Structure 1
Amino acid sequence: MECSTIATTADTHHPLGLHALWRPGAGLSLWHGADRPDPALPEPIAALLAGRRFSTRVAVIGADGRRDFAATATLGVTAAVVFLDATRSLSTHPELAWYRHLLDGVRRLVAAGCVTPAVSSADGAALVRWQPVTTPLWRSWSAVMWGAAPDVIAGNNADPRAAVDDLVAELTDHLCRARLTTVGSGAHRFGFIDALLPGAPGDAVPTSRAGAASAAWLAWQNSAGGDETSVVFRLHEPDESDELPGPGAGSLWRFQVCLRSVEGDLEPVVPHRLDPADLDRVTTDLANAVTAFGPLRQALPDRTTLDYLLTTDTVAELFADGVSALGQAGFAVLLPRTIADVRPALSLTGRPVVGSPRRNAMVGLGAVRDFQWRLALGTGGDAVTLTDADIDELARQKGDLVRVRGIWMRADGAALTRAAGFIAAQRVAAAAGTAPDMGELLDLVTGDEERTGVPVTAVSGMSWLDDIADAGSLRPPALPNAELADASLRPYQQRGFEWLTHLAGLGVGAVLADDMGLGKTVQVIAVLADEHRRHPGDAEALPTLVVCPMSVIGNWQREIARFAPELTVTMHHGQQRPAGSRFTEHHRDTDVVITTFATATRDRALLAGHSWRRIVVDEAQHVKNVNTAAAKAIRTIPTEHRIALTGTPVENRLEDLRAIIDFVNPGLLGSASVFRARFAEPIERDRDPAALRHLTRLTRPFILRREKTDPAIISDLPAKDELTVRANLTVEQAALYRAVVDELMEALKDKEQRVLRRRTVLAALTRLKQICNHPAHYLGDGSPITRRSGHRSGKVELLADIATTLVDEGDRALVFTQFATFGEMLAGWLGGLLSTDVPLLHGGVSRTDRDAMVTRFQSDDGPPVLVATLKAGGTGLNLTAANHVIHVDRWWNPAVEDQATDRAFRIGQQRDVHVRRFVCVGTLEERIDDMIHSKRELSALTVSTGESWLGDFGNDELYELFALRDEAVGE
């Protein structure tokens, strides 16, 4: 290995021929220049390097770009600091001068306290070291230093920037420890501080705590340097002198460059007043700013300053992205306080008609003669309402930064454009005589800006639409307590009475959708009695027509006689009902006419030939299918007001909700096809929250729904517990089940059968449900319920155990099935099992026999069990004598099943109600039950489920759903 010794000279002004290079992980390497391979060194340097040999050969690239191997001597950071200080009076190569300048900068950094501890890891140990606080000023200084690095430094490192950062880190740690020489070990509370003192190895933080310590010190570092900056930008609004030449060219904004003083004052930068070093630092900062926010490159320069002149489009970009980007690069940006972020909004104002009729037209403009849309920027007292001229001017400006009447504002330009287009379209419609009615206006007010472009935030002078826009619902005034003959309304019923009365006064239809058993009938009777009392002897008063199922027609007659005996009631039902002129004579001076759906359908022309104050449709789910004869007939009957009563406004589909709302407020939700595209498909298929939100806002004002389970509604109703009871199939049932599934899958392979696919699937579903009930139900062969060997059905066996137990305990039960034939089988068999008469309520029972059956069951000595079909016994009946409800088979519609359960769980029930729903293990019943429960999540306004959707499944999906599992058959 080639070596050289150190020669000395006493001349301290002798040029120093040494080159220097900091090598990460090694130190400061020194070597002689090629022109003086073995020079004599000045005395101070020779003394420092005494005993060191230039022996390690390192490949270096000289200033001339040539690569050579030099014999080097390497100094650690402590010796390097002493060496650099010793060269200050000497003439040196450029890199040594640069290293000295770097050392001076780090010294100033440490003296200012811009340092923080940091945790790093090496060979599995956590090392504590000092490092700089990376403030914007430090980053700027670092960039300047790096930009001035000599070629020897830049050319002799694979990653020159990393090498410089490594030297800064080593110098910072060394200089910090050197300043702490007077701090004694152990003179502090925290052990890790010893690792920051001179001579400490640095390994003081357990590895398990290293992460937390590092995060804490990093937070300290960020807070220590977060507010420091050198260059600050300040934006000034343009004035008339800042206009660009040319028509419509726009304005120029001054983006002023300022310096923040130590005291925090801002001074605009005047280039000729800065010394060269400060000017160099500022221009470096501006270069970094341009890198951070690129649009500054296109800014026009100002000849006398360093300011940027920005177009309005560039300023809009500055607001949107530039302020954040410059802030992340360490620059503060000051914006004019006068420029506010404003949200465009629409307002709707109307004027009432003088001399409007006593009762408003339903969902028409009614008392509103004229209305006007206004577009405003901002809200509250600071809002600026735009004139037509303002809107036209905004259309020309474009962009998100606009000037209105000399005031600059930030607003969503695209939204402004859409809103301006909407207002223009409304003007055209008004001029053409096709301005929207109240239903269409409600749709616009409650929508999610899809048609208006911006939200509608204020409505005034628009009758009931004011309340909906302000509170999302109608706000009926408080009324004196309803006066009824034999009862006082509960608080929630009083609110329902006030709500119905308010909507009637507005001419707006209502859907009263309280849970079954909360007294919807008595709330309507309270409205009828109140109107009768307020308008006694009114010769122009029209009667109310009540249309209801045959099962509850007697209940309406009895309830009116009980609570409002002053009302005259006539029944329009049966073979002896009057027709023609006899109808008019018979119902003269009548307050309420009660009829059934079937009668209303047959007497459609007769009822439509008379005028009615209102129509009340009880169990309104009967008119959910608009194509049925009953629905068509009832919609043709002229009336001033419509009320629909239903235990739930939705059953199988959202289309059912549309049908009921369309009955009370025609046209409110649009046609069936429009509703399907806007609401039903997005909600049912896509679970679209925006569509659901809009539908809720649109329908909420006209639907009043309270639930029995809400303690705020009714606190004295007993508890209801619901349980899904699982039964096994018998071997006989399992064999029949498999045969039907196999037959179905084989039929679906037939191409011709695919045309009737849905019918085939639903027919198989019915047969499988019959098998799950009992083999005799499916076979229809009149075979017995049980054989000597035992039960033939797991469900029937469970029913036998439950029925005998509850009867022994003095309880009573309702047993529901959707099949009349199976109900007949159960009623006879249960009667024998319990040694008592078990009545069967089905659709073929006459009204007289039905009423007698209900009265007997409700009596104290009535039968312990009543079997009923869902269709006949699921609505309109009060059967609170039962405190057990058993659904033997399933309709797969939670709404229908809940209505049936509410025959027992309603006002008047004194005992806790126990609900059991039977399903067979390992069959389609269990899997559909799981699916149904998962669909309850969409709340009262969303889809429950029927059975028809099963017809849309593919063959593989159907087999997966229908196939019998191994666990289906019991031991």
Structure 2
Amino acid sequence: MNNSLGLLPSGKIRYFSGSDTGKSGPALANITKHFVEKCTNVGLFALAALKSGSSLPPTFRFWYEFACQYMTTRCHSPDGETLSPIEPLDTTTAEHFLHSAPPMIGAEYLSVAVLQQLWVELDNWLIHEVAQHYDCLATLLKTRAPHWHQVGRVCFHLAENKTDPDYPFAFMATYSPSYGQGKSRHLPLAKALEEYAGSKNKARLIHLLSPIDLAAKSSALVKNLVDSGDIYHPLAWSPQEAYQFLKEVPLFEESGIIIRLPDWWKKRPRPKVKATLSTGLNNTFNADAMLRFNVQVALGDNKLTQTEWDTLLAADDGLAFIKGQWVEVDKEKLEQAMAQMKALEKHGEEEGISFIEGMRLLSGASSDLSTSTVEQDATEWAFIEADSKLSKILQQIRQPETLKSALPKRALKATLRPYQETGVNWLWHLNQLGLGACLADDMGLGKTIQIISLLLILKKNKVNRPSLLVLPTSLMGNWKSELEKFAPSLKALFVHPSLTSKTQLDELSKAKQLSGVDVVITTYGMLLRQIWLQNIQWHMVVLDEAQAIKNPGTQQSKMAKKIRAHARIALTGTPVENRLADLWSLFDFICPGLLGTATRFKSFTKSLEKRESEQYAPLRNLVQPYILRRLKTDKSIISDLPDKTEVYAYCGLSKAQASLYQKSVNELATSLRSADGMKRRGLVLSFILRFKQICNHPAQFMSDGDYRAQRSGKFLRLAEICDEISSRQEKVLVFTQFREMCEPLADFLSDCFGQPGLVLHGAVSAKKRQEMVEQFQAEDGPPFFVLSIKAGGTGLTLTEASHVIHFDRWWNPAVENQATDRAFRIGQKNNVLVHKFVCQGTIEEKIDAIIAEKSALANDILEGGSEVMLTEMSDSELIELVSLDLERTQV
């Protein structure tokens, strides 16, 4: 990762150091220092103070342009004795920034509301800075941002003069004697010479005219007006003279001159080459459809005739009067745009425009993602749109809430939340079109049940081919449980030795079809071993935790992309648009070819960086229709969620764990034969403790200090969950009942998060406890807190955490809930997701099942003090409880 600016969940801008630390120049180093040592507002102002942002890295350039937009608005807001707040950032401009944002850490937190809040906070900071340290804004600008100039009292007016066909424009320079209250008066500039006549007013006159003097240094037009004295008189201008003035308006505004123009110029009216994409005479549309291309010239909503087009090309460059209005004309660019569109039209007539080419064109990119035709000069004089039929189809993809419900509610044994039903309808819509999709909802928002609902829709619509679901081994238990609970009518086949015997797997490998099966569930690892899965034509393939294919060079990525299916879906809770390489690999699966080859895509994104504005808009336009992402921070989602959601994190055992566990079961069985009374009770308790330790990590039981992750299924699952938490810059509490596990967990999590966290156990003093709480509660504080459940389960407020992990189980829900409530309490603004770790096929899973069933034994266990009542079981009952289901433990 390179040095970059990104967003925290709160919406504040943060500097993230990367591998190129120390390689940036002094100017950039100074900017980053402001963000690191001071605050967002100081950093933004320092960015705006730069003379140019063209050489800045993409994220810095984006925030530079945002800061410059603010400074432009601030400098064009006349102030009196004290600064008043400027107008808020309008929604249209905010959406423009949102649409053109580059990939950045925390991009999922970027919104119109966040941009508007940053605007207000920057303005409040500047007002306070002027009030505290300067006599006025002009002094601050002169001292700290000398190339910015506050608007003066001089105004350049350009208006239409409809009575003179040869000189249809009028120019006048005026000044405002004073801002006063309300609307300012404007007098001819010549009056200023009279008002400030005499040597005593010379300084005031020079100050008044300083914006004109500044503009004259860069503009030959203004210099000529000043040298000739014409600046003090009303002037009649030809269209060519008016156009020269209009092209230099940004320069005049930068100099502090107020500009008043005809309203039509704000829209930059231009005749444009208009191309329309359509499905032709086809009644159906899908990913294999060939599109038609029709080219014409339009002025707004009006089509131009061939005669009017010829008149345009015969006119001089500049301003031309067509269809009752003045428009901007650049013959060379118009002809270039027409040639490009005609070439595409010819290609469409001969071969048709493919779906992929069409989507690229509609996004603002070129049909082949080449670097030569995405330059903005081309797009400013041409545009491509979908016809009404195609437009409606694409609009439904972009606005899934408008889709009709297809959910078979009787078959689904659950009630979906509104946003979940919207997600199911969207997935079904894309499925019907044969298009890929990425469901990127936050962890805990129910991606699993949305896919289960989609599978029920496929069954209801009698889709005759099965679907394939590929997932990490650690999630097999979750999917099996939810399929049985929510969709018992689905016939699911698990292709994994933990749930299917070797004999059955061998038989399946010889099968040419899977009759009666709705969904086959397997793992990424099994894709490499069960090659027959590649030979079946699936209706749909779903990749869960699809970040598993972010590296396109791995074997599992290659195998996943070889699967043949009508439609492809990727499920992930990690941000998908923050790293371009990951984005390409994901789309190489869900929409092969849409982003071109890896080399072409890299070249394409490099060309976007060179655009003057809306750098990444074409890329966002291209990928966003296929990504549905809902965040827990979205107020419309929060209102529909419970404050606390509990989920199981099922874990397997490593070979070392399974071996130790089975050996301990055998030892217990042997020891029970000769133990009775208190000796038996002590024996049972010691072995229960041993089983818990082995489930955590072999190193805890063996005390060998070797806490490598691959030796523990729980550590591997912890890494998967924390990778997602880290990618969202969220925080987590990790509870364990063993003090000796605190430090190994903290060391492991430091690697997962890339920074250290906090550890609390019984040996920590009260004073130190409070210091730790304050550290964790700071927004930029440590990302994780490991706590022993006895020492940290009560008395702390840790509401910065939106995740709680119970790494090992207390087997008493009241105790676990009390610990969870360190995060889930007054002051918590986010939904809290609670992860309960359970090793499958072990005593952990069996005890959890007993508690979940609320059986009499569960009450005995809870009321009798955790494991104590287990000692009263018979030998056979006890061995049955602790016995190892070896197949279910495989990772």
Q: TM-score, normalised by structure 2?
A: 0.46
The structure whose RCO (Cα within 8 Å, separation 6+) is larger is: 2
Considering fraction of residues, name the structure with more helix: 2
Give the number of the structure whose alpha-carbon radius of gyration is greater. Answer: 1
